[in-house]
Structure 1
Amino acid sequence: MKGKLLNALGLLVGIAVGVGLLYVLISTSREPKRRRPPDLRPLAEVITVSEQKYKAIIEGFGTIRPSGTLKVVSEVGGMIIEQGKDVAEGSLLEKGSLLFRIDNSSIVAEIEQLEAQIAAIDAQIAEIGVQSESDRNLLEVEKKVFEVIKRDYERSLSLFKKKLISEQALQATEARKNEQLLSLEKRRAAISANAHKLAVLKANRRAAVATGKVKKILLTKTVLRTPYKCRVLNVDAWLYQAVQPGTVLATIYPVDSPTEVSVPIESRHLSALFDFDKLERGRPPWKQVKLKADVFWQIFGKEQKLSGYLSRIGAQRDPNIRTMNAIIELPGPMERAMRQSSRGLLPGTFVRVAIHGRRYENVMVIPERALVTDHSIFVVKDGKLKEVRIEPLLILKTDVILPMTLSLPSGSKVVLTEVAGAFEGTMVRILEKKAKTR
């Protein structure tokens, strides 16, 4: 009996232990995870746009050039017999330095020949002057003689009419009168001829004197010197070369004048430089607003920077690429040296230019990749796609500048990437990206 009780008690204890273990296992076991159903909505990358200010910067590339160059041109022909010792490409020359000396012997000979010619003309003028004076004196004498003969003839004619003298005597008196009249006319003709010769000689003398002055001027042109402190851009002639008038010998540029760089810009970007609504018409905008421009270049592996300003816009547009040239003016070599600014900015240096244009107020900026068409974008509103019409103020590189509108208020979520198969009203998931500010 006692053994049965012990067996029953052991059975109850075993059952109790089993129940306890089962309770512990049930209470400590984790509830199996429920699998969430897949989200079939397409994913859209978006940015939240907000009202901001935008500084337009137009970038481009160009080559440094002097703002003004001077071609040294020979005005006389001849052989170059001397060249300045420092005349070479890149040389720095002081004002008045010798560039070239051209052989002047032929010009000197021509001047001497003209001087001899003028002396001969002067001698002829003097001789004719003496002859003319003598002829005028003789003319006065012959006039008096003629008057005497004329009165004698008139008296003879009166006597002939009274039949006091013969016809032969009258004819002799008339012959003397006509002979004296002919002599008088010859004297007058000689005086007139001498006057004509004198006029021709004086004209020839004036021509010779004028030619001599020209030759003397040309004589000064045989020595070419620098008109100002300059650098030699290139040399196109050499010693003992025979040159003709109009031959380009060298090209120089002043070191105390500014340098320039011409940067092609698109015509549509002019509105990014100037707010034309606020500018006076009929007056160049760069005369009303001075725009800063930064120029960058490399020297010895280091980037250099120099600031200038927009000097002007070219007057002609390239018909092929539809660009205009923005001319940036920079400090010249002398000014840069005085400032101890960046070095290595020589003519021909390839540079990158950043022109600081106008500042837009109360605008929004989105990436160009957000455009669905040139005039529409997608925004996400209440988890759905919505197509919005836009009118960009400016598209600059990858930035699209938009005005604030009721259809696109500040805080709108603009879709950046193309959503495959999406259309207006499509439910989408969003992946927020950081908006760009400038």
Structure 2
Amino acid sequence: MAKKLVRFFAPLLVVGGGIGIFMVLHATKPEPEKSSEKARPVSVYTATAERRPLTLEVSTQGEVRPRTELDIVSQVSGRIIEVSPEFTEGGLISAGETLLRIEDVDYRLATHEAEAGVAEAQVGLEQALADADVARKQLRNEPDASALALKKPQVAQARARLAAAEASLEQARLNLERTRISLPFNGRFTSTRADRGQFVSAGTVIGHAFATDVVEIRLPLADAQLASLDLPIGYSAPAGSGLPVTFSARVAGEPQQWRGRLTRLDAAIDPGSRTLYGLAEVHSPYDENVSDKGMPLAVGLFVEATITGRRLSDATVIPAAGLRAGDTVYLIASDGTLDIRQVNVLQRNAEQAVIREGLEGGEKIVISAIRNPIQGMAIVGIDDDATALATNH
């Protein structure tokens, strides 16, 4: 019986003893030392918000295209008997220069035939006028004489025949002139589809060319970029004016630049991209307005464009690293704490941001990263330093 009691109470005594020892140890444990030091402020790199005059610039891009381009079409039929050496891809076009000449024997014969028809019609008109004069004299005492008796319809018919003959002669001369194919502008060929000895019919496309007097570049513009230009939708510049534009591209392994002007804005927003397109022009891109390295602004080239926008007399400018997501900036308040502020951004690019509202000149902007930023947290600024900023980036 005693053994059974020992087996029953022994585990209970062990558990009770353990609990008692734990309670004694817990009651006698030493109190942890409490530190009176405050949280260490976070060190950040800063830059000063500047207020200064500024000319806004808008960066975009587009493809160079000719303002005038067309298919060269033969207006008469015949065999090609002469071809200009420049009638080839890339060939130079001079206004009025003969590019192709079609055999004109048939058209010269048609011109001679039309001239003979005019001479015959003139004789017929003279005869009709003479007959009318005789009839008028014979019937001068007949007040009721009819127009037919006075030969008036015959004269009208003779005049109509002469007019028709003269029109035929004019058409014959025009067809003869059209055997010589030329263009009214200076330009370049992009393709040719005819050669000497080939027979072409009226309406046959024999080549494609574009004018080199002016090239155009369509430039997409977002709403914020439109604000930087300060131009209305549907803007059209007076002749010879417009906002200055600098175009740049890498050609022949070297950076090239050209100058042009923004002359108009579309009157409607593109429904697919929700952007507005502007049109820039460059005059004489193949001779006068080449790049500083002598490279022409070639059709088909994709270029970067920098448009000079409006002039601000007093703008607040901060480094691009100081503008955070959601158009917010981190500032160091006068009491050394973090101030997270919403601002109204007028323009931003890879280098700087221009603030419209919400920021004053001289305020310290945080340009380095902050882990878990909290309004009012303690921070200490390190004056803006180019090396530190580069390291941070």
TM-score of the pair, normalised by structure 2: 0.69
Distance change >3 Å, CA 248–CA 433, structure 1 → 2 = farther
The correspondence for 1:265, drawn from 210, 214, 221, is: 221
The RMSD of aligned alpha carbons is 4.3
Distance change >3 Å, CA 389–CA 343, structure 1 → 2 = closer
The correspondence for 1:243, drawn from 171, 187, 201, is: 201
Q: Is the 8 A contact 1:314 1:327 kept in 2?
A: no
How far residue 394 of structure 1 moved from its aligned partner, in angstroms, is: 2.3
Distance change >3 Å, CA 349–CA 415, structure 1 → 2 = closer
Matching residue of 1:179: none
Q: Distance in 1 between matches of 2:134 and 2:244?
A: 85
Matching residue of 2:303: 351
**What letter is aligned with 1:242?**
V
The correspondence for 1:231, drawn from 172, 184, 188, is: 188
Structure 1 residue 82 and structure 2 residue 89: aligned?
Answer: no
Q: Summarize deviations over 1:406-430 as a string: whole Å, max 9, x none.
A: x64513233654642x432233466
Q: Summarize deviations over 1:140-176 as a string: whole Å, max 9, x none.
A: 79x8xxxxxxxxxxxxxxxxxxxxxxxxxxxxxxxxx
Matching residue of 2:352: 399
Q: Distance in 2 between matches of 1:56 and 1:221?
A: 53
Structure 1 residue 65 and structure 2 residue 65: aligned?
Answer: yes
Matching residue of 1:219: 176
How far residue 99 of structure 1 moved from its aligned partner, in angstroms, is: 0.6
SS in 2 for 1:335: coil
Distance change >3 Å, CA 47–CA 190, structure 1 → 2 = closer
Structure 1 residue 427 and structure 2 residue 378: aligned?
Answer: yes
How far residue 209 of structure 1 moved from its aligned partner, in angstroms, is: 0.9
SS in 1 for 2:288: helix
Higher relative contact order (CA 8 A, sep 6+): 1
Identity percentage of aligned residues: 18
Matching residue of 1:48: 47
Q: Distance in 2 between matches of 1:113 and 1:268?
A: 69
Q: Distance in 2 between matches of 1:419 and 1:65?
A: 49
SS in 2 for 1:218: helix
**What letter is aligned with 1:264?**
P
Matching residue of 2:22: none
Q: Distance in 2 between matches of 1:140 and 1:288?
A: 70
Matching residue of 1:412: 364
Q: Which has the higher helix share?
A: 1
Q: Summarize deviations over 1:108-141 as a string: whole Å, max 9, x none.
A: 4443443344444445445555655665666579
Q: Summarize deviations over 1:302-338 as a string: whole Å, max 9, x none.
A: 22233x132413324433221322414255322257x
Distance change >3 Å, CA 134–CA 252, structure 1 → 2 = same
How far residue 355 of structure 1 moved from its aligned partner, in angstroms, is: 2.8
Distance change >3 Å, CA 426–CA 139, structure 1 → 2 = closer
Q: Distance in 1 between matches of 2:130 and 2:220?
A: 77
Structure 1 residue 191 and structure 2 residue 191: aligned?
Answer: no
Q: Distance in 2 between matches of 1:258 and 1:400?
A: 35
**What letter is aligned with 1:214?**
Q
**What letter is aligned with 1:50?**
A
How far residue 391 of structure 1 moved from its aligned partner, in angstroms, is: 1.9
Flag the structure with larger Rg: 1
Give aligned pairs, total.
347
Write the mapping of 1:271-290 to structure 2, written as runs, cut at 5 A. Answer: 271-274=227-230
Q: Distance in 1 between matches of 2:224 and 2:153?
A: 74
Q: Distance in 1 between matches of 2:127 and 2:315?
A: 96
Distance change >3 Å, CA 359–CA 113, structure 1 → 2 = same
SS in 2 for 1:296: strand
Q: Distance in 2 between matches of 1:114 and 1:231?
A: 37
Q: Is the 8 A contact 2:243 2:263 kept in 1?
A: no
Matching residue of 2:21: none
Q: Distance in 2 between matches of 1:394 and 1:340?
A: 30
**What letter is aligned with 2:209?**
T
Matching residue of 2:286: 333
